[in-house]
């Protein structure tokens, strides 16, 4: 065996030596013009590789932004285009419906097609639904058909969770006030995020961001985090679920925008609600109240503003996304699977 290997290796070396010798002889046989041409091409190739290597990568641009355009302020559909590949708003692409249908098929194979009619219908005709929706309600990512549509919901829509949140108002407020003291020590304390607004300042402190828990922030507010686990209808396992503390400073206006889907209702528990603050959803204005929950469908065109003075202090709400009351339990399970973070 070893002898055969040595003979084969010797033959390979002989072949390599003959190949090199042939190449050298070919160069010797060429005239000067050919040699210069080859040398020039080699220099140009080296220069091209160097130039490409120095280029900075171009920023990601989604198909959605190309179709709809972005204005001079970087605003798309009234909300900031963040260009993040993780953001559910910024990952639109031509194959989205095919991807959703594939996820639905995978779910049905593992579990059942029972109760999937409305989701199947929604995915199959998603393009038509999104394009034909009236301008007052236009979810940016996913529309589930045949859901009752209204800008605001009564407290009874998710009565258990509303009452639980309101009973724990003081506990959430206390943890917020502890967090907010850090603003006197630095411009933006750890864990807080700045959101783009045409005027004023809008800060959020995330506990759940697009279905992903933020452990560092949750550890700072343990009672609030435990409360989230006690809510029956909190969306915590798919990209449409969020929970945070939202702070608007005086003089802040949030540009009108649409949420990504109609399968959820957004709940605001008022923590600090000075005069001059208002939420407008689908053209209907409402005011927050401290210790009270306000429920609305953020797939409707909506905005918020704080027109109070500096002495009034910030408007603060605890925000959590709850399931739309007309989304059935089987549909919720399937949607959690289809829109699981990172899927």
CB burial string 193-216: b at 16+ within 10 A, e below: eebebeebbbbbbbbbbbbbbbee
Full strand arrangement of the beta sheet holding 277-281: 252-257, 302-306, 277-281, 284-286
Residue 40 banded pLDDT, cuts 50, 70, 90 = confident
287-340 tens-digit pLDDT: 999 999 999 999 999 999 999 999 999 999 999 999 999 999 999 999 999 999
pLDDT of 89 reads 52
| 215 vs 56, higher pLDDT | 215
Residue 105 has pLDDT above 80, yes or no: yes
What are the contacts of 65-71 at 24+ separation with CB within 8 A?
A: 65/90
> Domains, the chain, ranges and CATH?
155-328 (2.60.120.330)
46-85 tens-digit pLDDT: 666 655 444 333 333 332 332 333 333 333 333 444 545 4
219-258 tens-digit pLDDT: 999 999 999 999 999 999 999 999 999 999 999 999 999 9
Across the chain, what does the average pLDDT equal? 82
Q: Which of 26-30, 141-145, 273-277 has the lowest mean pLDDT?
A: 26-30
């Amino acid at each position: 065996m070893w002898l055969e290997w040595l003979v084969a290796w010797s033959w390979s070396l002989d072949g390599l030596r003959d190949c090199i010798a042939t190449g050298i002889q070919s160069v010797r046989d060429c005239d000067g013009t050919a040699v210069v041409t080859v040398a020039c091409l080699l220099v140009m190739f080296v220069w091209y590789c160097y130039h490409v290597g120095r280029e900075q990568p171009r920023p990601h641009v989604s198909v959605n932004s190309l179709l709809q355009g972005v204005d001079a302020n970087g605003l798309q559909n009234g909300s900031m285009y963040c260009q993040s590949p993780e953001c559910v708003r910024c990952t639109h692409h031509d194959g989205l419906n095919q991807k959703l249908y594939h996820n639905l098929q995978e779910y049905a194979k593992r579990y059942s097609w029972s109760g999937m009619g409305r989701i199947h219908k929604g995915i199959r005709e998603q393009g038509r639904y999104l394009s034909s929706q009236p301008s007052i309600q236009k979810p940016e990512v996913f529309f589930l058909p045949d859901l009752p549509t209204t800008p605001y919901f009564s407290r009874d829509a998710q009565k258990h969770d509303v009452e639980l949140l309101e009973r724990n108002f003081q506990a959430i407020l206390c943890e917020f006030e502890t967090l907010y003291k850090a603003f006197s020590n630095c411009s933006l304390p750890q864990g807080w995020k700045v959101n783009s607004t045409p005027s004023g300042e809008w800060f959020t402190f995330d506990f759940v961001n697009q279905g992903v828990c933020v452990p560092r922030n949750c550890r700072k507010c343990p009672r609030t985090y435990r409360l989230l686990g006690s809510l029956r209808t909190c969306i915590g396992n798919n990209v449409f679920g969020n929970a945070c503390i939202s702070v608007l400073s005086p003089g802040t206006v949030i540009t009108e925008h649409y949420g990504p889907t109609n399968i959820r209702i957004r709940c605001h528990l008022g923590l600090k609600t000075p005069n001059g603050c208002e939420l407008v959803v689908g053209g209907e204005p409402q005011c927050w109240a401290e210790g009270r929950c306000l429920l609305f469908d953020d797939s409707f065109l909506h905005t918020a503003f704080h027109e109070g003075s500096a002495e009034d202090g910030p408007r603060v709400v605890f925000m959590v996304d709850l399931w739309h009351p007309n989304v059935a339990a089987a549909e919720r399970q399937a949607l959690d699977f289809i829109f699981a973070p990172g899927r």
